[in-house]
Structure 1
Amino acid sequence: MLDQLCADQCGLVTRAQALACGMTVEAIRAQVRAGRWRPLLHAVYATFTGPVPRGSALWAAVLRAGPGAVLSHESAAELVGLLDEGTTLIHVSVPSSRRIAAIPGTVVHYSSRVAEARHPLRLPPQTRIEETVVDLTQTAASVEQALSVIARACGRRLTRPDRVAAALSARKRLRWRAELSAALDDVTVGAHSILELRYLRDVERAHGLPRASRQHTVVRRGGRRYDDVRYAQFGVVVELDGRAAHPDETRWRDMRRDNASVVDGRRVLRYGWADVVGQPCAVAAQVATVLRASGWRGAPRRCAPGCTVLVP
C-alpha cells in the first residue's frame, strides 16, 4: 500500500500517510538516517535519492499544504500546457477556513471555492482548467494580459468559451468582468490570441470593415493549415503574428503558408503586434484598400476624431 502511494505521488509520502500505512515514527526516522528517505518540506519525504523532478516538487507543495489543497494559478496552468514554461514559485490554493504556515518556494492562495474548483480526476490535485483560467485573469497585471490568458486557453483547445463563461459567472467578485465576457464572445467566433482580439476590436469592428471568418481550415496535399482572418468573398487573407522574433523554421512555415494562399488566388496581408496595436487605423486603411480593390462595395469609417482612415 505504501509503495503504491509513493508511486502515485511521484515518490513522495507524508508522515501522516506513512503512519496510516502502518509505519511507526521510529521506522520513519530510521529510513531518514539510512539515507533512503529525505525530508523535502516539513513532514513530507522523498523516498528516492538524486535530483528532485518537477512533478515531485509540485506534489511536495500540495502535500505540505494539507487537506483540501490543490495546485492552482500558474502551477495548474503548467500541468495542462497553458504555460510553455513552469514558474519558479509553486502556487497552491487551500480552503479559506484554514490557515497554514509559510511554505518555502510556494505561494499560498486562500479560497472558499477550492472544493468546487478542484478537478475530479487529475493528479496531483489541481484546479479545473476553466477555474485556472479565471484565477490567472484575476492575478494578471493588466486587462490585456487577462484577455490573453482566455485567448490562449481556448486557442490551444484546452477548454471552451462557454466553460470559461460558467466559471466567470460563479465568481461573486471579479475584476474586468465586462471585458472578459466580451472577449469570450470574440473567442467564440475564432479570435484565438490577444493579437487577433485586438485586430477584431480595433481594426475590423472599429472601422466598419466586413466581418471575416477566423481560423479557417485549408486542406491541401501537404496537410492542413489555418488562416487567421479570411475575407473569403473577396479573396483576402490577413495573417497576424504576435511574436517579436521568428526562428528560421517558423519563418519558412509562414512563407509556405503565404505562398500557398497566393497560389490559391488569395491576397495575403501580414501584420504584427506593433502594427495592430500601434497603428490600427493605418492597418484598417490598408486592409480596406485591398478589400475595395477586390470587390468590396462598402466603405471604412473613422473610429474616432483624428482617425487616419480615408472615408470615400
Structure 2
Amino acid sequence: MDEIRALLELQDGVIARRQALAAGMTPIDVARMVRRSEWVQVHRGVYVNHTGHLSWNQRAWAAVLACWPAALDGWSAVRAHEGPGRRAGDRAIAIVVAHERKVVAPAGVIPRRARAFADQVQWNLTPPRLRYDHAIVDLADRARTDLDAIAVLADACGGRRTTARRLGAAVAATSRLERRRFLEAILGDVEEGTCSVLEHAYLTNVERPHGLPKGIRQAPAIAGGRRMFRDVLYRGSKPAWAQLVELDGRLFHDSTKARDRDMERDLDAALEGADTVRLGYGQVFDRACTTAGKVGRLLQIRGWTGEPIPCPGCASLRTTGKCG
C-alpha cells in the first residue's frame, strides 16, 4: 500500500501498529508481516522492516512511536538536531510527553513529562524533537554540577548552533527551572562578553572562605597608552610584591586576536613587576578549594606572610576528593 510505504520511508523503516491499521491494514495483515519476518517488533506495537541491527534514527523513531504522542528529549533531541558527531549513539533514548500523561516506557527509553510540551516540540521534524534551545536549557538546568551546566551552554554557543540571547529567551519561556538565576547570569555574561559571575564566584568560593588576602577588584592600569582594568590585584609592601589573577570567563575558543591581546596584557603586567595567572570556571566552580590552596602558595612565594585557612568544603575535599 502506498500509505504504508510512505510511512516506512518517512520513519526510517519503523511503523506503529496503530498507523498500519489506520492506513487500511487488518490485525491479520500485521500478524502476517511479523510471522514472515518482514516486520520485526522493536517495542510493543512498534515494528521495523528488517531483521538487522537498528540504526540510532530507527531506535529514536521506535521510542517516539511507542510512547506517542511523544518527542525526543535531552541529549537525544540534541543528537537529532546536531547529527551523530561526538554524541554517543548507545545511550538510552530520551523522550518527552505531555505533563498530564503517565507513560510506562519500554526498556531503553527514558520518559519525561513537561508542562509546555506542545509549545516546545518541533513536530515537523523527523522524528519530532524538543526545540534545540529548550533542550539545551533543560539539560543545563538538570546538569549534575554548575560546571556541567556551563559546559552544556558552552558547547551549544561554541558550536554556533544557537546564541546566548536565544537561550535566554528559552529560559524566560520555561516556567520551572531550578537554576534559573544562575543560567540567566551565565547567559548574560556570554552575551555581554563579561565574566562578572566568575569574578563574584572567585570572591565567594575561593578568596573569602579560605582567608586569602583581600584583592583589589578591577584595578585600573595603563598599558601601551590604553586604560584597562585588572580583574584581581594582590599587592604587598614589605617586601613589595604583586600578583594578578585574571578570570577568563570565555566559555569557548575565542579569536586568535583576543587571545593575543590577553597575552600582551600579561606581558605588560610583568614589566610592571606583577605576574599573572588565569583561572577559568573549572578552577573557580569545580575545584575552588584546591585552587585556593594553590593561589595561597603562590601569594606566599610572592611575599604574603599569611596562611590559607580551610573552609567546610575543604573537609569534604579530604574525605571525598571533591570540593564542597
TM-score range, shorter chain: 0.5 to 0.7
Paired position in structure 2 for 1:279: 291
- Quick check: 2:67–2:105 contact (8 Å CA) kept in 1? no
Which of 10, 13, 16 pairs up with 1:14? Answer: 16
Per the alignment, do residues 158 and 18 of structure 1 end up closer, same or farther by CA in structure 2, a change over 3 Å counting? same
Paired position in structure 1 for 2:202: 202
Per the alignment, do residues 273 and 164 of structure 1 end up closer, same or farther by CA in structure 2, a change over 3 Å counting? closer
Q: In 1, Cα distance between the equivalents of 2:267 and 2:25?
A: 70
Q: CA deviation at 1:102?
A: 2.9
Per the alignment, do residues 191 and 65 of structure 1 end up closer, same or farther by CA in structure 2, a change over 3 Å counting? farther
Aligned partner letter, 1:279? T
Q: Specify every segment of 5 or more residues in structure 2 that has no aligned partner in the other structure, as ranges.
A: 204-214, 219-228, 232-247, 269-275, 299-303, 310-324
Aligned partner letter, 2:104? A
Deviates more, 1:79-88 or 1:148-157: 79-88
Which of 40, 43, 54 pairs up with 2:42? Answer: 40
Q: In 2, Cα distance between the equivalents of 1:108 and 1:229?
A: 47
Per the alignment, do residues 96 and 216 of structure 1 end up closer, same or farther by CA in structure 2, a change over 3 Å counting? closer
Q: CA deviation at 1:216?
A: 4.5
- Quick check: 1:216–1:230 contact (8 Å CA) kept in 2? no
Which of 62, 65, 71 pairs up with 2:64? Answer: 62
Paired position in structure 2 for 1:131: 134
Which of 73, 78, 91 pairs up with 1:88? Answer: 91
Q: CA deviation at 1:191?
A: 8.0
SS at structure 2 position matched to 1:178 = helix
Task: Note the alpha carbon deviations across 1:221-246, whole angstroms, 9 max, x for none.
Answer: xxxxx755843763769xxxxxxxxx
Q: CA deviation at 1:80?
A: 2.8
Aligned partner letter, 2:265? F
Deviates more, 1:93-102 or 1:103-112: 93-102
Q: In 1, Cα distance between the equivalents of 2:188 and 2:67?
A: 37
Per the alignment, do residues 274 and 183 of structure 1 end up closer, same or farther by CA in structure 2, a change over 3 Å counting? closer
Q: In 2, Cα distance between the equivalents of 1:80 and 1:283?
A: 42
Which of 114, 118, 141 pairs up with 1:115? Answer: 118
Q: In 2, Cα distance between the equivalents of 1:187 and 1:77?
A: 21
Q: CA deviation at 1:202?
A: 3.4
- Quick check: 1:74–1:83 contact (8 Å CA) kept in 2? no
Q: CA deviation at 1:135?
A: 1.4
Larger Rg: 2
TM-score calculated relative to the size of structure 1: 0.67
Aligned partner letter, 1:202? Y
Q: In 2, Cα distance between the equivalents of 1:181 and 1:38?
A: 47
Q: In 1, Cα distance between the equivalents of 2:56 and 2:293?
A: 46
Aligned partner letter, 1:88? R
SS at structure 1 position matched to 2:42 = strand
Per the alignment, do residues 270 and 88 of structure 1 end up closer, same or farther by CA in structure 2, a change over 3 Å counting? same
Q: CA deviation at 1:44?
A: 0.4
Q: CA deviation at 1:59?
A: 0.6
TM-score calculated relative to the size of structure 2: 0.65
Per the alignment, do residues 46 and 174 of structure 1 end up closer, same or farther by CA in structure 2, a change over 3 Å counting? same
SS at structure 1 position matched to 2:94 = strand
Task: Note the alpha carbon deviations across 1:79-105, whole angstroms, 9 max, x for none.
Answer: 233963245221111112222223211
SS at structure 1 position matched to 2:111 = strand
- Quick check: 1:11–1:46 contact (8 Å CA) kept in 2? yes
Paired position in structure 1 for 2:318: none
1:76 and 2:107 aligned: no
Alignment of 1:295-306 (within 5 A): none
- The Cα RMSD (Å) is 3.9
Q: In 1, Cα distance between the equivalents of 2:296 and 2:170?
A: 35
Aligned partner letter, 1:115? A
Q: CA deviation at 1:119?
A: 2.2
Q: Specify every segment of 5 or more residues in structure 1 that has no aligned partner in the other structure, as ranges.
A: 219-225, 238-267, 287-301, 308-312
Alignment of 1:1-312 (within 5 A): 1-67=3-69, 69-81=70-82, 84-86=87-89, 88-190=91-193, 198=198, 202=202, 207-208=217-218, 210=230, 216-218=254-256, 230-231=261-262, 234=265, 277=287, 278-279=290-291
Task: Note the alpha carbon deviations across 1:21-52, whole angstroms, 9 max, x for none.
Answer: 22111111111111111110011010112111
**Percent of aligned pairs with the same residue?**
28
